[in-house]
Amino acid sequence: MYTIESIQKVPISIEEAWDFFQNPSNLATITPDGLGFDILSEVPNKMYPGLFINYKVSPLFGIKMNWTTEITYVDAPNYFVDEQRVGPYSIWHHEHHFKAIPGGVEMLDRVNYMVPLGILGKIAHPIIVRPKLEEIFDYRYKKVVELFGVWQES
């Protein structure tokens, strides 16, 4: 099992952060264009436990893949969890945590995941998979700064 994590402080309230990140439609806004990310299912403006979201993504070489996630836990405005039900990973458990701090909100993104294909997956992980996930997390970090600004310590 592998883990990737990102912490970001943003100069907005926890309620503003929650309103943006709980809306599944906003995922496309913070996903790199190169992933060919398309939501296929109708989605509400607010997530809830048991919500299934169907996507098409092109994570490697432009090859389109189906990806289905289920929102498994929601504790507004503190955290939510999405888990892959269909997609490229053997396991995908993605936690989104929000904590009010002076002058804004601290957001923690943590993904625990396993790659498929046994030894081939283990070889591909440090060469292809991990760098691609880091690229996505870096893009999201920059996009959130672009959307909401840079947090300044009070």
* Total domains present in the chain: 1
In a domain, 86, yes or no: yes
Domain that holds residue 9: 2-148
Query: Can you give the pLDDT at residue 33?
Result: 87
Residue 88: give its domain's CATH number. 3.30.530.20
In a domain, 153, yes or no: no
**Residue range 10-59, pLDDT digits in tens:** 999 999 999 999 999 999 899 998 888 899 989 999 999 999 999 998 87
In a domain, 154, yes or no: no
From residue 86, alpha-carbon distances to 9, 18, 107, 113 in Å are 31, 26, 26, 13
In a domain, 112, yes or no: yes
Residues paired with 96 in a beta bridge: 80, 109
In a domain, 117, yes or no: yes
Query: Can you give the pLDDT at residue 58?
Result: 85
In a domain, 133, yes or no: yes
- Indicate the pairing of strand 52-57 with strand 65-75: antiparallel
**Residue range 63-120, pLDDT digits in tens:** 889 999 999 999 999 999 999 999 999 999 999 999 999 999 999 999 999 999 999 9
